[in-house]
Chain A
Amino acid sequence: MNFDKELDARGLNCPLPILRAKKALAEVASGQVLKILSTDPGSVKDFAAFAKQTGNELLSTAEAGGEFTFFMKKK
């Protein structure tokens, strides 16, 4: 998937992936896509909840070998 910015939140634990994502989203324009890498299993539910509450769209969630990849489109 195409993306405009990438955030490496691997090794970080709650709530840092969300806080870093919020910051990274502030640096892209509306409609642009942020790719987020995470190793925190809790981030799967957290990013879904974050998207629901902020209106940013979670385009996809994938897991491979303990690593999670999210694509989020800025509102």
Chain B
Amino acid sequence: MDTKKMAIIATKGTLDWAYPPFILASTAAALGYETQIFFTFYGLQLVRKDLSVLKVSPLGNPGMPMKMPFGPKWFKSINWNMPNAIQAIIPGYENVATALMKQTIANNGVATIPDLRELCQEADVKFIACQMTVELFGFDHSDFIDGLEYGGAATFFEFAGETDICLFI
């Protein structure tokens, strides 16, 4: 039987959206898929050496519950809905939301993004960064982790054209 293949295009650069590509890629690799992720536009943040750049914000995201990861059960169940206009003017709101999300992630036994990324690399998931967006955003190759390849759309299609699963995230 031929090896199954999966290609993912990762385009989002926030803490929450870092999960789907790395979860799917690491799991696919565990299931025996040959897997490749093409990081482009904001997705480039996911292959930075410094992953502390990843934040999550409830601002403009009505789907995100704002709950406290500590305290008694009744307190944790409160959803701290706040109007966008108020969220926008509180300094450091995003940092607080990110810290709370990271605590929630730890409380739930969910892997961290650095861990998942490392698991992907250990499982030989191939990472390709879009050279055009690297230049567009003024990044330098030294901003990114080792083991990254740089290429363009044609490079993506070379592998994607032969895949069983191809996702745009």
Contact = CB atoms under 8 A, between A and B. Distances in A.
Interface of A: 11-16, 18-19, 21-22, 39-40, 50, 53-54
A61 to B, nearest CB: 18
Given A53-B32, A54-B32, A18 B27 contact: yes
Contacts, number: 34
Contact of B31 (A11, A12, A14, A53): A53
Contacts of A40: 109
Contacts of A15: 23, 26-27, 30, 111
B31 A19 contact: no
A19 B30 contact: yes
Nearest to A40: B109
Given A50-B30, A50-B31, A53-B32, A13 B119 contact: no
A53 to B, nearest CB: 5
Interface string B70-114: 000000000000000000000000000000000000001111000
A13 B109 contact: yes
